[in-house]
């Protein structure tokens, strides 16, 4: 997996100065906002269907490939390619729901869960067959290559722009969920699907919208991930997916704001812990899952999650 070293401090192991501290912190925020974007999709679907959509990380991967091909084939600007990739991923997400999950809506939860794993494998292997296992170099947009200087801290464009773009997307998402009629229906479906039906809401359609929304946001996350780690391959979604899912659980799965907070915590921890203890850099992924285990032991409902009563 293409991975950029987190910063100079992990190279030599000298103590963090204030400057590197802020550099690392911003770097962590940047990574965290990507986890937030990906975590949203897990939490939205879980909130509504009680399903862990394992295929979500592969939709994220598809987002990077769609962006890659749209840039390469149609020679469009980066941002427009991302928008197109978001649309394509929305379609993929809706197709997955319609084909794989809807027929199992009333089946036991474990059947849907296994199906989700199956869809995930299917997309990964489809990727291996069609585009091959060899990583492709993702063209970094110029915006992300710029280096900015702020109070003597030198920061890369990707560290500045990723959180800003993510922030705009998350605000837009919050607007949809809390200020639109469709968003209101989504919140209602998440609480009581049958009662929502009785309101005249076409619940199947609302579920499709939810998948479309989560997938489009994952695509945006994927495109920015590739700008950060510019090597893409069909299995690249797996690790970010696990971590984003961890973020969703830490924030309280089913809670959108929780997913954003969880994403930040995971991203910052993943960057800051190895930066503070350079000797432990090799364990950076382990820290993330240690946080997950810690939460599961102490507060399994997550930061903003309510202790779930079993729906009767």
**Contact positions toward another protein, by CB under 8 A?**
181, 184-185, 187-188, 190-192, 194-203
CA contacts within 13 A on the Cβ side of 215: 28
Between residues 144 and 189, which has the closer beta carbon with respect to another protein?
A: 189
Q: How far is the CB of 50 from another protein (least distance, A)?
A: 16
- DSSP bridge partners of 153: 150
* Residue 29 · residue 264 · CB < 8 Å: yes
* DSSP letter, residue 133: S
Strands 231-232 and 136-137, sheet pairing: antiparallel
C-alpha to C-alpha distance for 144 and 157, rounded to whole angstroms:
4
CA contacts within 13 A on the Cβ side of 139: 17
- Give the SS3 label for residue 298: helix
* Residue 59 · residue 241 · CB < 8 Å: no
C-alpha to C-alpha distance for 219 and 1, rounded to whole angstroms:
18
C-alpha to C-alpha distance for 157 and 135, rounded to whole angstroms:
23
Between residues 37 and 45, which has the closer beta carbon with respect to another protein?
A: 45
Residue (of 152, 138, 191, 93) closest to 1 by Cα position:
138
Which residues lie below 8 Å from residue 75, measured CB to CB, with a gap of 6+?
none
C-alpha to C-alpha distance for 9 and 24, rounded to whole angstroms:
9
Whole-number Cα distances in Å, 6 to 36, 117, 162: 19, 31, 16
* DSSP letter, residue 236: T
């Amino acid at each position: 997996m293409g991975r950029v070293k987190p910063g100079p401090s992990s190279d030599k192991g000298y103590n963090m100065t204030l400057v590197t501290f802020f550099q690392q912190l911003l770097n962590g925020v940047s990574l965290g906002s990507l986890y937030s974007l990906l975590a949203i999709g897990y939490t939205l679907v879980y909130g509504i269907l009680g399903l862990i959509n394992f295929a979500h990380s592969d939709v994220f991967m598809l987002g990077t490939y769609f962006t890659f091909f749209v840039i390469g084939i149609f020679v469009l600007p980066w941002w427009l390619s991302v928008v197109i990739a978001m649309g394509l991923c929305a379609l993929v997400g809706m197709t997955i729901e319609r084909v794989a999950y809807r027929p199992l809506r009333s089946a036991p939860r474990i059947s849907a869960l296994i199906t989700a794993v199956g869809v995930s494998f299917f997309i990964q292997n489809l990727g291996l067959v069609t585009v091959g296992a060899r990583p492709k170099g993702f063209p970094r947009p110029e915006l992300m290559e710029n280096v900015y200087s702020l109070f003597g801290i030198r920061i890369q464009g990707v560290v500045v722009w990723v959180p800003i773009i993510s922030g705009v997307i998350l605000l837009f998402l919050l607007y949809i969920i809390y200020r639109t009629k469709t968003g209101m229906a989504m919140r209602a479906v998440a609480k009581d699907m049958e009662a929502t039906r009785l309101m005249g809401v076409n619940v199947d359609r609302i579920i499709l919208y939810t998948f479309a929304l989560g997938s489009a946001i994952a695509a945006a996350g994927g495109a920015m991930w590739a700008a950060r780690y510019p090597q893409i391959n069909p299995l690249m979604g797996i690790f970010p997916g696990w971590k984003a899912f961890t973020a969703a659980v830490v924030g309280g799965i089913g809670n959108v704001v929780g997913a954003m907070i969880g994403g930040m915590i995971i991203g910052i921890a993943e960057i800051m812990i190895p930066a503070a203890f350079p000797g432990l850099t090799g364990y950076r992924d382990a820290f993330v899952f240690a946080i997950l285990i810690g939460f599961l032991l102490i507060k399994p409902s997550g930061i903003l999650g309510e202790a779930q009563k079993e729906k009767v």
